[in-house]
Amino acid sequence: MNYLTRRLVTFPFVLIGVSSLVFVAIRMVPGDSITAMLGTDAGLLTPTQREALAVYFGIDQPWFVQYGRWLLGLLQGDLGISVTYGKPVFEVILKRFPLTLELALLSMIIALSVGVPAGVFAATHNERPSDLAVRIVAMIGQSTPSFVLGLLIIYALSAGFGVLPIMGEFSPLWQDPLANLSQLIFPAITLGFAFAASVTRISRSAMLDILSEDYVRTARSKGASSRSVTWRHALPNALIPVVTLSGIEFGYLLGGAVIVEQIYALPGLGRMVLGAILQRDYALVQGTVLFIALNFMIVNLLVDLAYFALDPRIRLRDR
């Protein structure tokens, strides 16, 4: 069985595991679900009302029936009803998702377009002052939490320029690209900064390793110039670990969006899930967490596909 089939075969198993974990986690909330759902208001319910609600939410059934129904619902895109929004969870998620996705992608674009060239530059200037400078910046960048950087940016903008990043209502990219970008650029920098630092560090060390490989020496013995050696021979090999990192980091970006959306008061998925946790809207928490995990898994599957395209050793291993 080759690499790709193996990945595709395990995918649904992991998906089942992920959904079960989320399901079980939410059932482990102390107290019964109605109380958990309605908070103090639950005290006002009559036993009949309780019963009715329990039937409505299906929690009068044994856990395996609940789980079965829930899984069946999942397959149809039914994640339950959000108590706070009074709408289907899936609908609530879909409305918020574009912002979070765009934020994560924009951060990734920023991080890769800054990090890869910076890493290559540092590696080709190994042990020189410019390399040292890049390494110091990357080290500090990797150690700067988004919530510190975000607050510093807001402070610098307001104290230095007297402007505040636009908060509040989100303008989607397809309606007003300019407003959209001016709204998301600072959050994206905040979110992508540490990632850019990691990309720089990993592309630097990968380039350094590869520049000492035998095949780079071969290329030089053919008369390839330093530029051609760097970009044609070394970089495609050095991108392989960068792709791995990008897959893993995408998850961190989706997670980090919670914090960044909170700082910049952006109405995205992350901010919503935080609100849902604080308001004990468990259907929404459950649905959102699952939705984000699914996205993360899909991205990692895409990363594996990218490997397949990038590295003939993986592609051809089973022939």
Q: Which of residues 260-319 bind other proteins (CB under 8 A)?
A: 262-263, 273-274, 277-278, 282, 285, 289, 292-293, 296-297, 310-313, 316-317, 319
Per-residue tokens: 36: 């958990």
Q: What is the contact mask toward other proteins in residues 194 to 233, using x (rule: CB under 8 A)?
A: -----------x--xx-xxxxxxxxxxxxxxxx------x
Q: How many residues bind other proteins (CB under 8 A)?
A: 79
Min separation Cβ 51 and other proteins, Å: 25
Q: Which of 10, 113, 130, 182 binds other proteins (CB under 8 A)?
A: 10
Min separation Cβ 299 and other proteins, Å: 11
Q: Segment 51-90, which members bind other proteins (CB under 8 A)? A: none
Min separation Cβ 225 and other proteins, Å: 5
Q: Does 8 bind other proteins (CB under 8 A)?
A: no
Judged by CB under 8 A, which stretch of 42-50, 65-73, 75-83, 249-257 contacts other proteins?
249-257
Q: Does 44 bind other proteins (CB under 8 A)?
A: no
Cβ partners under 8 Å of residue 176, min gap 6? none
Q: Does 159 bind other proteins (CB under 8 A)?
A: yes
Min separation Cβ 287 and other proteins, Å: 12
